[in-house]
Amino acid sequence: MQLSKPVLYSGLAAAGVTYLLAVPNQYKIPCFFHATTGYLCPGCGLTRAALAVLRGDIPAAFNFNQLVFFLPVFLAALYFAKKSKYAKTLTLLLVIIGGVATLGFFLIRNNFI
């Protein structure tokens, strides 16, 4: 029996979420950028923020990394942009907006501005 791709992906996602919720939060993914420069990269705290959202702890998620709320909206916009008749232009525009927003987040987060 061969599983369809959506069923397989949904099963893998459910298994991943179950694992992340079951494992204590003591296992942190180390950040090479933070370890070498001392600055927080835009992704630092994103795993802890996503886990906090899954637990329903929105204030903790916001404190870990605010991008956890921007990322799903950005990915959904990219998905719908690729389905439009102006896919190439919209995708490029969204990638530029996402890059500028991420760079701004990095600069503000590390007190450069």
CA distance 54 to 61: 9
Model pTM score: 0.70
Domain boundaries, the chain: 30-109
Task: Output the DSSP codes for 35-87.
Answer: HHHSSPPTTTTHHHHHHHHHHT-HHHHHHH-THHHHHHHHHHHHHHHHTSTTH
Which pLDDT score, from 0 to 100, does residue 90 have?
Answer: 94
Which pLDDT score, from 0 to 100, does residue 51 have?
Answer: 83
Which pLDDT score, from 0 to 100, does residue 15 have?
Answer: 77
% of the chain residues with pLDDT over 70? 88
If residue 112 lies in a helix (H) or strand (E), which one and from where to where?
Answer: none
Residue 2 is classified by DSSP as -
Report pLDDT digits (tens) over 41-64.
998 888 888 888 888 899 999 999
91-94-97 Cα angle (round to 5): 150
% of the chain residues with pLDDT over 90? 45
Q: Is 53 exposed, middle or buried (0-12, 13-18, 19+ CB in 10 A)?
A: middle
Which pLDDT score, from 0 to 100, does residue 21 have?
Answer: 66
Confidence of residue 40 (pLDDT cuts 50, 70, 90): very high
The residue with greater pLDDT, 85 or 13, is: 85
Q: Rounded mean pLDDT of the chain? A: 86
